[in-house]
Amino acid sequence: MKPTPTLLTALLLTPIMQTFMRSCLSLFFLCSIAYGQETWTKADVDRLMTELSNWGKWGADDQMGTLNYITPEVRQAAAKLVKEGITVSLSRDAAKTKAPDNGSPYEHNIAAASENQGWNGDSIKVACHGLAHTHLDALCHKLYGGKMYNGYSYKTVTANGAEKNSIIKLKAGVFSRAVLIDIPLLKGVDYLEPGTAVFASDLDAWEKHSGVTVGAGDIVLVRTGHWKRRDTLGVAAQRPGLHVSCVPWLHDRKAAMIGTDLALDVSPSQVRFSDQPVHQLCLVALGMPVLDCADLEQLSIEAAKRKRWDFLISMAPLAVDGATGSPINPIVTF
């Protein structure tokens, strides 16, 4: 007996529905090409967690991660990059007003002097993580499977702070060569549109364009032009940023730190079932601190003016034992 087609089967066989399904498949194929492989999923990220892991590389007790690549020799070479003594800050001004991308603004309270009291004072409070404040992520900021970089348990973080991998490990500061990768300049646009991913192929293209190759101990700064767009057009729901394919690139070049002008990961992530895979891989697998929300606009101008894409960078986080990060004011010196 010949089976009777169901309503769903009949619908799927209509010319309109077949055309729609072909369009969906074409879109999926194009997206797959853009991702650099057929499909990026959480399983790929899980695999990279093992393949790119630096756990144990510098010893079972290590809490510095890829900052170990910044040797005394790297610092000496970075110091020699100073030719003019011109400095540029990479920090946004402290944002004291709530906004769609700033749910926790700086709280700044002034104790003003009076005619008979000659001292002014203040208190400052900030929840530095997020999308508004320039900050540095410590290696204890992110966990995977209950563990942070080098296998330390989530149990080492309590209400009193992080016993392992906290920002206090960077108390001596960071002093190295920085390399600016200016993606909008490479692509001939003012800024990347929200949701635009930066792929490893873009990083390769920039190296070819600039003639500067990222090496061991470098601080990599990737500009998307976020602040230029945000200050002009306001806050967007999606965010430009790095695609997960950039993490093996950073690993292979032995970069010491990655910094961007927003929250590192492209959003949406373009990886199925994985929200912030770049943060996860950098902080947990590589042990690579992350500089978030850096303001790279003036640096872009000064670098283009000089056609110089590498320079000295220095930064010193707050010496707060147990903290998961710190507000930061990185300084570039030409």
pLDDT in tens, 178-221: 999 999 999 999 999 999 999 999 999 999 999 999 999 999 99
Q: Are 148 and 81 part of one and the same domain?
A: yes
Mean pLDDT of 217-245: 98
- Could you tell me the residue range of the domain that residue 103 belongs to? 99-127
- Write out the two tokens for 79: 């110091």
Confidence class for position 22, pLDDT limits 50, 70, 90: very low
Q: Are 108 and 223 part of one and the same domain?
A: no
Rounded distance, CA 249 to CA 164, Å? 27
For residue 302, give the amino acid letter. E
Q: Are 201 and 249 part of one and the same domain?
A: yes
DSSP string across 207-239: HHHH-----TT-EEEEE--HHHHHHHH---SSB
Return the SS3 of 30.
helix
Rounded distance, CA 180 to CA 114, Å? 47
Cβ(291)–Cβ(261) below 8 Å = no
Q: Is 192 inside a domain boundary? A: yes
Q: Are 120 and 231 part of one and the same domain?
A: no
DSSP state of 334: -
Q: Are 257 and 273 part of one and the same domain?
A: yes
* Contacts made by residues 227-234, CB under 8 angstroms, sequence distance 24+: 227/92, 227/261, 227/295, 227/296, 227/297, 228/190, 228/191, 228/297, 229/190, 229/191, 229/193, 229/194, 230/101
Q: Are 168 and 59 part of one and the same domain?
A: yes
- Write out the two tokens for 8: 């769903």
Q: Are 253 and 151 part of one and the same domain?
A: yes
- The CB-side HSE value for 318 (13 A sphere, CA atoms) comes to 16
What H or E segment, with its residue span, contains residue 88? Answer: strand 87-89
pLDDT in tens, 171-190: 999 999 999 999 999 999 99
What is the number of structural domains in the chain? 3
Q: Are 188 and 316 part of one and the same domain?
A: yes
Cβ(201)–Cβ(36) below 8 Å = yes
pLDDT of residue 241: 98
Q: Are 310 and 236 part of one and the same domain?
A: yes
- Write out the two tokens for 195: 């949701």
Rounded distance, CA 243 to CA 224, Å? 12
Mean pLDDT of 135-143: 98
Q: Are 226 and 122 part of one and the same domain?
A: no
Confidence class for position 16, pLDDT limits 50, 70, 90: low
Q: Is 1 inside a domain boundary? A: no
- Range of weakest confidence among 18-27, 33-42, 86-95: 18-27
Q: Are 14 and 79 part of one and the same domain?
A: no
pTM of the entire predicted model: 0.88
Q: Is 317 inside a domain boundary? A: yes
Q: Is 150 inside a domain boundary? A: yes
C-alpha dihedral (111, 116, 117, 120), degrees to nearest 10: 50
Q: Which CATH number belongs to the domain containing residue 301 in this structure? A: 3.50.30.50
Q: Are 142 and 51 part of one and the same domain?
A: yes
Return the SS3 of 116.
coil
The single residue listed with the structure tokens 């730190």 is 257
C-alpha dihedral (144, 146, 151, 156), degrees to nearest 10: 130
